């Protein structure tokens, strides 16, 4: 059908005059989409505007095909507003966007309701509701007049497709791959708009249920080629098998970040117990979590399998029935009794189901403990550890050795709003002014201060645990492993304040001040290091390993010491590689080496050491990062380990 420009002009004139509700709907929801990006990622990418406009115009056009137009506009508006509000709140807390596949974990949302309300609600989260208020006013004012009705759907659909086409034609072209694998949700929202993102997420979330239609063969081929080219060779080095047959206790330390180790306030260390364990044991000081929306559960998964977390949803919830090779099931096969303990509900993160599938013989969850002291999300760490020691003693005496146990802490979970109940750690600052001692609040009452108090509490709990285990004779022939499960989601401003508060002038220094400490976006990413410590009472290792290392490498490194080997592991044995070969790949394609932090979103390399970085160096590492993200994605999405194992 040949459409003339004149006809389009007539279309706009008619819409404005006769279909004001359509006009309002398009303009208002387009504005909301733009406001959403401004209030969350702060991005104003032009191409996203074309996608936003194309989507809302197409949705408006569909109103011409339905009978109950006003009802249609109200329902669609509620859906679009909900998409903005939920993602806005979620972004405050996770710096990412909601995956509908997570909504399956209602327990997760219930337990997080209070945390998010406490921590993340802002007026700008609800501002999108203005559209619905305006819609009711417009509907009330303008009646739909059938007499002048013209079905412009085709014309509107064409304009919408032109707009979407312009969006597709604009750079950067790399972002299309992110639509498929959803590695980088922020990049998808910035480039395609929040409406396209959410539709994409729904498609990707549904994809696993139809995965045999979507590219199974290609995925299997890609994975086989990868392992054919890069199969990780089993390490043989001075650490091979040094802990074989020993008992292993792993402490999954909630939100523990490395910057707190070695930190002191008023001459008191924040983490004296962890500092001692790190000094005496093997301390991996350049270590990062590699989580996605699954936070704790992503870390448990990546540590156990040496694969990166799922791109859509979480393995613990959406792929818990898949077959994986894990540290736990390999030790089980070597005769270990393998258990996990955690003071929270067993169905949180679907652990009841996933832990058994991972190879744990038993998961002792909330119902296994006396809930006699609750802070934050649940049972306090000190009470948890007090109860754990006799339970381990029972396991040793009644089930036998060797055993492997994962102890998951809870108290140090955001928002740390009740630290005054359980911590008197002082984060104020005393300064002498004109010979007078003046006490400044400094971090007292600040989120950073509350976090540090909570970390100090957790450190005390771990110190108490080690002592109680020693008194119970449970440290003999036993290895203690501690890792921080991910960063605490502290805002960048919390760090800028901590590093730039000046007690003399009682203000925060800025760039114009001499001793101002810059804390840029890369410093912020690098501050997300978490500790990984391997300690045993029997041996003083006194080793600090600063090779760039990710959670994906932890199970391989410890596994070599335990005499186990996972041929599907994508991580490396850190004791077997040089510092130059260490690389930490994050789910969005960004990565850290000893030379750079590569930011995949902005395609930018931030130097971490002097020297020139070649394009080849970036290309090689970027291809490596994309490979392991893609192989992880395929193994998880298509449950390929099951097929690879059965094909043996």
> What whole-number distance in Å separates Cα of residue 125 and Cα of residue 612?
43
> What whole-number distance in Å separates Cα of residue 437 and Cα of residue 428?
13
Give the CA-trace dihedral at 473, 478, 479, 480, to 10 degrees: -30
Q: How far is CA 96 from CA 44, 133, 247, 489, in A?
A: 17, 28, 38, 11
Q: Does 317 bind ligand GP9 (CB under 6 A)?
A: no
Q: Does 485 bind Mn ion (CB under 5 A)?
A: yes
The backbone torsions φ and ψ at residue 286, rounded to the nearest 5 degrees and listed phi first, read -125, 55
80 binds, among ligand GP9, Mn ion, none (CB under 5 to 8 A by kind): none
Closer CB to ligand GP9, residue 344 or residue 419? 344
Contact 223, 631 (CB under 8 A): yes
Using CB under 6 A as the binding rule, the residues of this chain from 115 to 174 that contact ligand GP9 are: none
Binding mask 330-349 for ligand GP9 (x = CB under 6 A): --------------x---x-
Q: Does 253 bind ligand GP9 (CB under 6 A)?
A: no
> What whole-number distance in Å separates Cα of residue 633 and Cα of residue 364?
30
553 binds, among ligand GP9, Mn ion, none (CB under 5 to 8 A by kind): none
Task: State both tokens at 71.
Answer: 């009802």
Binding mask 411-430 for ligand GP9 (x = CB under 6 A): --x-----------------
Quick one: which H or E segment has residue 283? strand 282-284
The only residue of 29, 275, 295, 383 in contact with ligand GP9, by rule CB under 6 A: 295
> What whole-number distance in Å separates Cα of residue 529 and Cα of residue 519?
15
Q: Segment near Mn ion (CB under 5 A), from 58-66, 90-98, 276-284, 288-296?
A: 288-296
Q: Does 40 bind ligand GP9 (CB under 6 A)?
A: no
Q: Does 414 bind Mn ion (CB under 5 A)?
A: no
Contact 224, 112 (CB under 8 A): no
Quick one: which H or E segment has residue 552? helix 551-562
Q: Does 296 bind Mn ion (CB under 5 A)?
A: yes
Q: Segment near ligand GP9 (CB under 6 A), from 2-10, 223-231, 405-413, 547-555?
A: 405-413
Smallest separation (angstroms) from ligand GP9 to the CB of 309: 11
> What whole-number distance in Å separates Cα of residue 528 and Cα of residue 260?
11
348 binds, among ligand GP9, Mn ion, none (CB under 5 to 8 A by kind): ligand GP9
Smallest separation (angstroms) from Mn ion to the CB of 15: 50
What's the length of the chain?
648
Q: Does 308 bind ligand GP9 (CB under 6 A)?
A: no
Full DSSP string of 91-128: HHHHSS---GGGGG-HHHHHHHHHHHHHHH--GGGTGG
Q: Segment near ligand GP9 (CB under 6 A), from 126-134, 384-392, 408-416, 563-571?
A: 408-416
The only residue of 64, 84, 308, 408 in contact with ligand GP9, by rule CB under 6 A: 408
Smallest separation (angstroms) from Mn ion to the CB of 547: 24
Smallest separation (angstroms) from ligand GP9 to the CB of 473: 30
Task: State both tokens at 137.
Answer: 């006013």
Q: How far is CA 164 from CA 157, 446, 619, in A?
A: 10, 45, 31
Tell me which residues touch Mn ion (CB under 5 A): 254, 295-296, 485
Tell me which residues touch ligand GP9 (CB under 6 A): 254, 295-297, 344, 348, 408, 410, 413
């Amino acid at each position: 059908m040949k459409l003339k420009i004149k006809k389009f002009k007539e279309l706009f004139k008619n819409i404005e005059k006769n279909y004001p509700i359509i006009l309002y709907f398009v303009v208002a929801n387009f504005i909301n989409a733009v406001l959403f990006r401004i209030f969350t990622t702060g991005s104003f990418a032009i191409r996203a505007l074309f996608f936003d406009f194309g989507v809302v115009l197409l949705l408006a056009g569909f109103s011409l095909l339905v009978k109950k137009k006003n009802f249609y506009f109200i329902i669609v508006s509620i859906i679009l507003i909900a998409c903005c509000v939920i993602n806005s709140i979620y972004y405050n807390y996770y710096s990412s966007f909601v995956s509908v596949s997570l909504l399956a974990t209602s327990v997760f949302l219930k337990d997080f309701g209070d945390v998010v309300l406490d921590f993340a609600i802002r007026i700008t989260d609800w501002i999108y509701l203005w559209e619905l208020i305006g819609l009711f006013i417009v509907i009330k004012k303008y009646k739909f007049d059938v007499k002048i009705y013209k079905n412009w759907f085709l014309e509107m659909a064409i304009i919408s497709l032109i707009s979407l086409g312009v969006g597709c034609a604009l750079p950067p072209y790399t972002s299309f791959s992110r639509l498929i694998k959803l590695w980088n949700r922020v990049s998808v929202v910035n480039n395609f708009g929040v409406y396209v993102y959410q539709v994409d997420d729904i498609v990707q979330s549904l994809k696993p249920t139809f995965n045999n239609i979507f590219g199974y063969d290609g995925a299997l081929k890609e994975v086989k080629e990868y392992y054919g080219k890069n199969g990780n060779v089993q390490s043989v080095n001075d650490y091979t098998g040094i802990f074989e047959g020993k008992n292993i206790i792993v402490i999954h330390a909630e939100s523990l970040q490395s910057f707190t180790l070695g930190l002191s306030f008023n001459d008191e260390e924040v983490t004296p117990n962890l500092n001692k364990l790190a000094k005496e044991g093997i301390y991996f000081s350049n270590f990062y979590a590699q989580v996605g929306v699954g936070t704790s559960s992503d870390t448990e998964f990546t540590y156990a399998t040496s694969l990166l977390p799922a791109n859509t949803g979480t393995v613990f919830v959406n792929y818990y029935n898949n077959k994986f090779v894990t540290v736990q099931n390999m030790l089980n096969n070597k005769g270990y009794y393998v258990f996990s303990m955690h003071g929270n509900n067993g169905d949180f993160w679907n652990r009841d189901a996933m832990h058994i599938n991972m190879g744990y013989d038993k998961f002792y969850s909330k119902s296994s403990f006396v809930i006699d002291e609750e802070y934050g999300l649940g049972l306090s760490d000190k009470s948890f550890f007090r109860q754990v020691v006799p339970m381990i003693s029972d396991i040793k005496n009644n089930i036998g050795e060797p055993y492997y146990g994962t102890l998951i802490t809870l108290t140090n979970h955001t928002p740390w709003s009740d630290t005054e109940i359980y911590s008197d750690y002082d984060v104020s600052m005393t300064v002498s002014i004109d010979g007078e001692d003046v006490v400044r609040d400094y971090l007292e009452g600040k989120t950073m201060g509350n976090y540090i108090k909570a970390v100090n509490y957790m450190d005390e709990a771990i110190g108490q645990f080690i002592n109680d285990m020693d008194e119970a004779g449970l440290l003999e022939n036993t290895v203690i492993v501690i890792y921080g499960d991910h960063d605490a989601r502290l805002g960048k401003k919390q760090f800028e304040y901590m590093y730039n508060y000046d007690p003399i002038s009682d203000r925060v220094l800025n760039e114009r001040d001499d001793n101002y400490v810059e804390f840029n976006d890369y410093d912020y990413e690098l501050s997300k290091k978490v500790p990984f410590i391997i300690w045993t009472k029997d041996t003083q290792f006194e080793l600090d390993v600063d090779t760039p290392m990710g959670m994906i490498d932890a199970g391989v490194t410890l596994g070599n010491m335990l005499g186990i080997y996972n041929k599907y592991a994508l991580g490396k044995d850190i004791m077997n590689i040089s510092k130059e070969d260490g690389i930490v790949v994050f789910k969005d394609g960004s990565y850290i080496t000893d030379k750079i932090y590569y930011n995949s979103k902005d395609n930018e390399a931030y130097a971490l050491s002097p020297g020139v970085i070649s394009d080849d160096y970036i290309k090689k590492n970027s291809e490596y990062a994309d490979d392991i993200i893609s192989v992880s994605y395929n193994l998880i999405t298509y449950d390929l380990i099951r097929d690879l194992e059965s094909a043996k």
